[in-house]
Amino acid sequence: QSALTQPPSASGSPGQSVTISCTGTSSDVGGYNYVSWYQQYPGKAPKLMIYEVNKRPSGVPDRFSGSKSGNTASLTVSGLQAEDEADYYCSSYAASVPFVFGTGTKVTVL
Amino acid sequence: EVQLVESGGGLVQPGGSLRLSCEASGFTFSTYWMSWVRQAPGKGLEWVANIKPDGSSKYHADSVKGRFIISRDNAKNSLYLEMNSLRAEDTAVYYCARNPPFHHADYWGQGTLVIVSS
């Protein structure tokens, strides 16, 4: 099972929006509504931001939203803030493995 | 408050063995799937293994199959990862994570570092 494809980097100015893509196949992202997104600061554990494509856990700001179209899922961060600067990973259920992660995207707030 | 605390990491020689532990608190451990996820230095996340709430079903990534074994002791609220025949490419921070329905990880431990080197 190959890793899901994410852009290595994304950036935006404070207040702007940034969207991160996560591309898989019909055997993972496209086949199931089990896409999740994780935020990770350097040296820290990942934190769940979105699950089941577009659901937000309690405590996650509504500036974070998720969507999916075909084999590509997306995470959008609206109203970008300095504390949003971090690495972001997508993950999907796949028929062959319970978790396949994306390659990761470093978000920079300019 | 949900807490997951890993331990057992360290420096081990290639071909050696190590046993990681994850102690859970703040939730009913015996009702959740649990996973191990690792992250090599400067790299992305990789799922390693997961286990059913009662321990009756276990799944391992191809990269560790036959060398690593996930297990749990619900009486001790603990998750384990027995790692044998360790290779340099197993060097990583190992996280335990809780898996509620369906197929995501809502709580993660702080991680424990495993270094495989001579």
Secondary structure class of B88 (helix, strand, coil): helix
A32 interaction partners in chain B (CB closer than 8 Å): 103
What pLDDT shows up at residue B7?
Answer: 98
Structure tokens at B90: 């197993």
- Report pLDDT for A45: 98
Confidence at residue A96, expressed as pLDDT on a 0 to 100 scale: 82
Q: What is the pLDDT of residue B102?
A: 82
| Contact with chain B for residue A100, Cβ under 8 A | yes
Q: What is the pLDDT along chain A (110 residues), one digit of tens a residue?
A: 789 999 999 999 999 999 999 999 999 999 999 999 999 999 999 999 999 999 999 999 999 999 999 999 999 999 999 999 999 999 999 988 889 999 999 999 99
Of A44, A46, A51, the CB nearest to B45: A46
The three-class DSSP label of residue B63 is: coil
Q: Are A100 and A3 in contact (CB under 8 A)?
A: yes
Q: Which of B6, B38, B45 best tests the A interface by mutation, with the highest count of A CBs <10 A?
A: B45
pLDDT digits (tens, 9 = 90+) for B39-74: 999 999 999 999 999 999 999 999 999 999 999 999
Strand partners, B58: B51
Nearest to B44 among A52, A97, A103 (CB): A103
Cα–Cα separations (whole angstroms), residue A95 to A72, B58, B63 = 17, 15, 17
DSSP E strands in B26-88: the ranges are: 33-39, 45-51, 58-60, 68-73, 78-83
pLDDT given at position B101? 86
Q: Which residues in chain B touch residue A101, judged by CB atoms under 8 angstroms apart? A: 37, 44-47
- Assigned token pair, A107: 């978000």
Q: How close A81 gets to chain B, by Cα (Å)?
A: 23
Pairing of the two strands A9-12 and A105-109: parallel
Whether residue A98 and residue B61 make contact (CB cut-off 8 A), yes or no, is no
Residues from chain B that touch A98, judged by Cβ atoms under 8 A, are: 35, 47, 50, 59, 99, 103
Residue B76: which residues within 8 A CB-CB, separation 6 or more? B23
Interface contact flag, A47 B108, Cβ < 8 Å: yes
A51 DSSP 8-state letter: B
Is the CB of A52 less than 8 angstroms away from the CB of B104?
Answer: yes
Mutate to test the interface with A, among B6, B47, B103 (most CBs of A within 10 A): B103
Give the separation between CA B8 and CA B19, rounded to whole angstroms.
6
Residue type for A73, please? A
